[in-house]
Amino acid sequence: MRSFLIFLFTACSFALYGEARAAESLVAFDETQVTPQTVSPDTSERVTGKPQSSYARNPSGVSPDTSKADTETPHSEYYYNLGNISYNSGDLGRAILCYERSLHLDPRNRDARHNRDLAIRKTVDKISDGKSWFASAGETLAYALPLTALAPLALILFVGALASGIFFFLTESRGRRRLYFYLGLSLFGLCIFTNALILHWVYTDRAYRSIAVVLSPEVNVHISPEATSGVAFTLHEGARVQLTDEPLDGWQTITLPDGRKGWITSSSIEAVLPH
């Protein structure tokens, strides 16, 4: 029993350290919470199963001010609205790119996720994201609470598990010792689970660094970085790809979730997080 509690204390210490590092690296996520959308709904868009107000348009008909992204850090809602404008102007690839950028800044933006999924269903290339049901369920749980809530929760669970271990040693009653033992074990399990949710935020943030979206209406993916090389397959606007290695003379290696690989011209794609 004593060995188990020593293990419990050590494991919780490592969990607390990992939670602190994760919270520090992702604090920017929760700094992006802003006011609701500022563009009016496009009532002409027919969306099955969701309110029509999920899509928005530019009421004045003018082009969006993209200079904001170069002069200051945009918020999730900025890219969400920009995605809506791009979608309603027929620029499907740019819309998906903006929705992805919105979700990177705020993974809990349900409207951006909903609109992105609807836009993806309208793409020519029906490429699955490769996520299993278990992974999708874990993602839902991870984004049920903001990071600013998960981090303190992990700390509280850690303190609770540690306190249970201390009371276990100080209590002579067998019944109470058993109570503190199982309580500490339960809190320890919840602490590990909460830290796993935090690590999902970390993984998602890093995964976005290698994601790009095809913006060209149609582009060939070659087997080598030469226009005269054989065509491995063809992609269309809105397709999401994973970047591998560094660009080479205007070419970029990509990988699809189904395992297909090839070289694509760098000008036909744009990374979610520009380098």
**For residues 193 and 18, is the Cβ–Cβ distance under 8 A?**
no
Confidence category of residue 30, pLDDT binned at 50, 70, 90 = very low
Q: How many Å separate Cα 176 from the centre of its chain?
A: 43
**Per-residue tokens: 242:** 């994973």
Query: Higher model confidence: residue 60 or residue 97?
Result: 97
Question: Where does 156-265 show beta strands of DSSP type E?
Answer: 211-214, 218-222, 231-236, 240-248, 251-255, 261-265
CATH topology of domain 34-136: 1.25.40
Q: How many Å separate Cα 214 from the centre of its chain?
A: 19
Determine the Cα–Cα distance for residues 221 and 265; give it in Å rounded to an integer.
8
pLDDT at 63: 42
The segment with the largest mean pLDDT, out of 71-80, 99-108, 197-206, is 99-108
Determine the Cα–Cα distance for residues 240 and 95; give it in Å rounded to an integer.
12
Confirm or reject CATH 2.30.30.40 for domain 215-271, answering yes or no. Answer: yes
Q: Mean pLDDT score of the chain, rounded to an integer?
A: 79
pLDDT of residue 13 exceeding 80, the answer is no
Per residue in 197-240, pLDDT (tens digit) is 999 888 888 888 899 999 999 999 999 999 999 999 999 999 99
**Per-residue tokens: 136:** 């999708």
DSSP secondary structure string, 25-61? HTHHHHTT------S-B-TT---TTS-GGGSB--TT-
Q: Which residues contact 254 (CB under 8 A, 6 or more apart)?
A: 212, 221, 241, 242, 243, 244, 261, 262, 263, 264, 269
Asked, colleague to colleague, whether 34-136 and 215-271 share their fold, the answer is no
Per residue in 234-262, pLDDT (tens digit) is 999 999 999 998 888 899 999 998 889 99
pLDDT of residue 141 exceeding 90, the answer is no
Query: β-pairing, 211-214 with 240-248?
Result: antiparallel
Confidence category of residue 3, pLDDT binned at 50, 70, 90 = low
> Mean of the pLDDT values across residues 30-50?
38
Amino acid at position 240, single letter: R
pLDDT at 56: 41
pLDDT of residue 35 exceeding 60, the answer is no
Instruction: Return the domain boundaries, the chain.
Output: 2-27+146-208, 34-136, 215-271
Q: How many Å separate Cα 182 from the centre of its chain?
A: 35
